[in-house]
Amino acid sequence: MNEPATSLPDITRHAAAEVAVRPATLDDVGAIHRLLKDYATRGKLLPRPESDIYQSLREFVVVALGDHVIGCGALQIFTRQLGEVRSLAVNSTYAGMGIGTRLVNAIEADARRLGLSRLMALTYEVRFFQKLGFDVVEMKALPEKVWGACINCPKFRNCDEIAVLKHLSPAE
């Protein structure tokens, strides 16, 4: 399950809050790939080949303890208005320490900086996103995503993920 707990540093929730969210580097690709693959194997995330992670690397942020990437997430832009939180994953050893929240907050801050007005995700973790101000929406509220990217997805005809959306007003 994720990177084996025995090889990972032990930290408290307080210490986790001190670890920076930073842009991913080439050295992080292998660890990002392993983290996503582990959740993909359990059907929680879509698998992404390593080549895809290299090509999208500048979309990724990570939280790392030394050499260990313990969380990652990416911002993919679809249109002038719409971006997506993609490939969000936190090593289960560090679940519930606020790392997922900080990754989404960093992705949201980047989306605002770029001038996006809507941020979405497709997820099974609805409660997590609701706590961060996202609302559940129908997939058809996101035609840019559905007709742009989902159409090439193996789950396209049987997608059981739930769409969540947050409006990013400049005043927030």
Ligand X SMILES: CC(C)(COP(=O)(O)OP(=O)(O)OC[C@H]1O[C@@H](n2cnc3c(N)ncnc32)[C@H](O)[C@@H]1OP(=O)(O)O)[C@@H](O)C(=O)NCCC(=O)NCCS
Interaction site with ligand X (CB under 6 A): 39, 44-45, 85, 88-90, 95-101, 121, 123-125, 127-128, 131
Minimum CB distance to ligand X smaller for 110 or for 125? 125
| Position of minimal CB gap to ligand X | 100
Shortest Cβ distance from residue 95 to ligand X (Å)?
4
Sign, CA torsion 138/143/144/149: positive
Contact 84, 47 (CB under 8 A): no
Shortest Cβ distance from residue 158 to ligand X (Å)?
18
Shortest Cβ distance from residue 47 to ligand X (Å)?
12
Minimum CB distance to ligand X smaller for 37 or for 112? 37
Residues contacting 140, CB < 8 A, separation 6+: 146
Minimum CB distance to ligand X smaller for 20 or for 171? 20
Structural element, H or E, at residue 159: none
Minimum CB distance to ligand X smaller for 43 or for 170? 43
3-class state of residue 77 by DSSP:
strand
Shortest Cβ distance from residue 103 to ligand X (Å)?
7
Length of the chain: 172
Give the Cα separation of 32 and 57 in Å (integer).
10
CB crowding 14-39: b at 16 or more within 10 Å, else e: eebeebebeebeeebbebbbebbbbb
Minimum CB distance to ligand X smaller for 12 or for 170? 12
Structural element, H or E, at residue 33: helix 29-41
Shortest Cβ distance from residue 128 to ligand X (Å)?
4
